[in-house]
Amino acid sequence: MRTVLHDGVHPRWLEWLPACLLYGSFGLIIVLSVIAPVIAASLLVVYAVHWLVRAILMSVRLIVGYSAYRRDVVKNWQQKLATDFSRPIWRGIYHLVIVAVSKEDYAIVESTLRAIEQSEYAADRLIVVLATEERYAANGQSVLVKSRRTFGHSFAALIASIHPDGIAGEVKAKGGNITWAAHLAKRYLEKRSIPFDHVICTTLDADNRVHRKYFAALTYAYLKTEQPLYATYQPVPMFFNNIWDVPMPIRSISLGSSFWQIIEATRPHRLRNFSAHAQSFAALVATDFWSTKTIVEDGHQFWRSYFRFNGQHKVVPLSVPIYQDAVLSPHGYWATFKEQYLQKRRWAWGCSDIPYVLYHAWKNSRLPFWDKWLQAGRLIEGHFSWATTSMILAFFGWLPRILNPTFQDVVLGYTFPPLYSRILASALVGMAVTLTISTLLLPPIPPHRLKRSRWSVILEWISAPFLLPISNVLLSSIPAIDAQTRLALGKYLEFRVTEKHTIRQDLRNHPAAN
């Protein structure tokens, strides 16, 4: 049976694989805990040690990534462009910036456009497209009118795009919106005879604020890449715009998401498109822009490019960040937690790429054999670990003693609980690293939050060993399990706009301007 997911050609049974691995591993632990508790406990100890080693290595990578960030945000990229390349070469590069707008009000979009305007790059080389939705016509029209009034002469062009509602074959998601906007931009470039390979396209959500050095750093990376047609450029997303306004657990979750991207930036072979990213416009034309059939067009674009160019595609990390809003609902504390859960579930819907990748890896014989299966294996392992690790370490590790009372009569049954506890406690070393870097990385506490937030930082340090495991289960593992289960059942997720309420800030005090 075929599926309606993505391109609609892969067999439906491939969508069962992530859930089968997930529930199969849980079932295996339960069965072994009952009939062979010694084997179960031994495997769990090995698994815990494995994740302890990975936690230590990730802490080291976090330090390396943080050092790269500190180095690159103070580097004079304009000077490096002038030194390493002739002026006609780097001045010939244009940046097309597509800002996807749905229900966000003008105040949010204004801050995003202001950050682009204040960036350290020639304004006559910045082409901005405001990609609005017809289904939110009133809000979109208001944003377009106000943006033109304020920023109409700030860039080489400010193009208005209104994505029609109800296009046949499209899901209601960001991919269709930015693809429609890219087609408008294509016509603009063709009229002015601007070569597509001289244009780098960055896609932003309405709340994304580029660091002032972003475009210069991206230009440098693009020109340094041997074959930029076969590359995507991934800045570090930092959820700092409203980080001091969100509840403490949400701040920890948002920091964790930023830290993970910093870590992944040190492993380019594992790095994939996430949220805001950039790609040669020539490559986008070759892939017919983004998928209009998925709600996770960012990560899926890597695979579309990978298969379109027969495996000749990579992601180039940028340590210069793009700042985003953390989840914050105007409807209160619990509504914020619900929004965070739903956002994480949408991110975890990247598991829907697994059947797509397996099918096309099998069908495309022109792909490098070992590379395509290694890439597919990393994708499967990533989503499997996302769903299972916190659950196994927090809960399943204790099942041998709970499900088989005779287990405690053997030597391993007596030594297992303290041994397992000490292994997990050793992971606190990595937690200390993340807390230290979060203190160095977070922007200054705004005046309206100064007194309250100082106390919350102290409380975060004290409560982290207890709250982080709980939040990892509730707002990481369970959303991933939810997504993989829905994929197996054919209950495909629909796109929804995450609520991100923020207090309007003076951009001069924002980390993007520093």
Digit-coded pLDDT (tens) for 137-148? 999 999 999 999
Selection from 226, 294, 282 nearest residue 8 by Cα? 294
pLDDT at 264 exceeding the cut of 50: yes
Alpha helices in 85-204 (DSSP H): 87-91, 106-117, 137-151, 174-191
Give 22 or 12, the one with higher predicted confidence: 22
pLDDT score at 2: 45
Other CB atoms within 10 A of residue 105 CB: 13
Q: Are residues 387 and 352 in the same domain?
A: no
Mean pLDDT of 219-248: 95
Residue 3 forms part of a structural domain:
no
In this structure, are residues 449 and 245 in contact, taking their beta carbons and an 8 Å threshold?
yes
* Whether residue 320 has pLDDT greater than 70: yes
Determine whether 305 is exposed, middle or buried from the number of CB atoms within 10 Å of its CB (0-12, 13-18, 19+).
buried
Tokens of 173: 């998601």
**Does residue 261 share a domain with residue 408?**
no
Beta bridge partners of 130: 99, 160
Order of strands, sheet of 231-238, starting from the edge strand that comes earlier in the sequence? 157-163, 126-133, 94-100, 199-205, 277-280, 231-238, 314-323, 209-210
For the domain that residue 268 is a member of, what is the CATH number? 3.90.550.10
User: Could you tell me if 266 and 415 lie in one domain?
Assistant: no
Same domain, 433 and 356: no
Stretch 409-428: mean pLDDT: 84
Give the whole-angstrom CA distance, residue 311 versus residue 368. 7
Go through 52-82 and write b for each residue having 16 or more CB atoms within 10 A of its CB, e for each that does not: beebeebbebbbebbebbeebbeeebbebbe
Q: State pLDDT tens for residues 459-510.
A: 776 776 677 888 899 999 999 999 999 999 999 998 877 766 665 555 555 6
State whether 221 and 320 are in the same domain: yes
Burial 466-487 (b: 16+ CB within 10 A, else e): eebbebbbbbbbbbbbbbbbbb
The DSSP annotation for 47-91 comes to HHHHHHHHHHHHHHHHHHHHHHHHHHTSS-HHHHHHHHS-HHHHH
Looking at per-residue confidence, does 459 or 443 come out higher? 443
Q: How confident is the model at residue 1 (pLDDT cuts 50, 70, 90)?
A: very low
Kindly report, residue by residue over 79-92, the tens digit of the pLDDT. Answer: 999 999 998 899 99
Residue with tokens 């870097």: 437
**316 found inside a domain:** yes
Amino acid at 479: P
Using CA atoms, how far apart are residues 296 and 350, in angstroms rounded to an integer?
A: 6
Average pLDDT over residues 21-25: 98
CA 241 to chain CA mean position, Å: 16
User: Which residue type does 132 have?
Assistant: T
Predicted confidence (pLDDT) per residue in 69-116, tens digit: 999 999 999 999 999 999 889 999 999 999 999 999 999 999 999 999
Query: Cα dihedral angle (429, 454, 473, 492), rounded to 10 degrees?
Result: -130
- For residues 170 and 239, state if they share a domain: yes
* pLDDT for 454: 62
Whether residue 43 has pLDDT greater than 80: yes
DSSP annotation of 272 reads -
Q: Which of 126-135, 192-201, 366-375, 413-422 has the lowest mean pLDDT?
A: 413-422
Backbone torsion region of residue 59, taken as left when φ is above 0, otherwise alpha when ψ lies between -120 and 50, otherwise beta: alpha
* Tokens matching residue 421: 């506890």
* 232 and 339 inside one domain: yes
What rounded mean pLDDT belongs to the chain?
91
Residues 268 and 363 in one domain: yes
Identify whether 4 is part of a domain.
Answer: no
pLDDT at 112: 97
Widest CA span of the chain, in angstroms?
Answer: 81
375: CB partners within 8 A, 6+ apart: 306, 357, 361
State the pLDDT confidence band at 450, using cuts at 50, 70 and 90. Answer: low
> Which one, of 434, 403, 448, 287, lies nearest residue 28 by Cα?
403
pLDDT at 66 over 90: yes
Q: Which two tokens stand for residue 477?
A: 């593992």
Q: Is residue 405 part of a domain?
A: yes
For 2, the 3-state DSSP assignment is strand
Q: Are residues 387 and 343 in the same domain?
A: no
Please indicate, yes or no, if residue 76 is contained in any of the structural domains: no
Quick check: is 495 in a domain?
A: no
Could you tell me if residue 237 is inside a domain? Answer: yes
Is the same domain home to 426 and 336? no
What's the pTM value of the predicted model, to 2 decimals? 0.93
Whether residues 354 and 409 share a domain: the answer is no
Assigned domain for 302 exists: yes
- β-bridge pairing 94-100 and 126-133: parallel
For residues 321 and 237, give the distance between their C-alpha atoms in angstroms, rounded to a whole number.
Answer: 6
- Look at 122-126, 194-198, 503-507 and tell me which has the smallest mean pLDDT: 503-507
Residue 259, domain extent = 85-371+504-513
One domain, residues 241 and 295: yes
Do 480 and 387 contact (CB within 8 A), yes or no? yes
CA 131 – CA 140 distance, rounded (Å): 9
pLDDT above 90 covers a percentage of the chain that reads 76
**What's the confidence (pLDDT) of residue 5?**
64
How far apart CA 47 and CA 53 sit, in angstroms, is 10
Number of domains in the chain: 2
| More confident call, 262 vs 452 | 262
What backbone phi and psi angles, to 5 degrees, belong to 509?
-100, 5
- Taking the C-alpha atoms of residue 59 and residue 432, their distance in angstroms, rounded to an integer, is 9
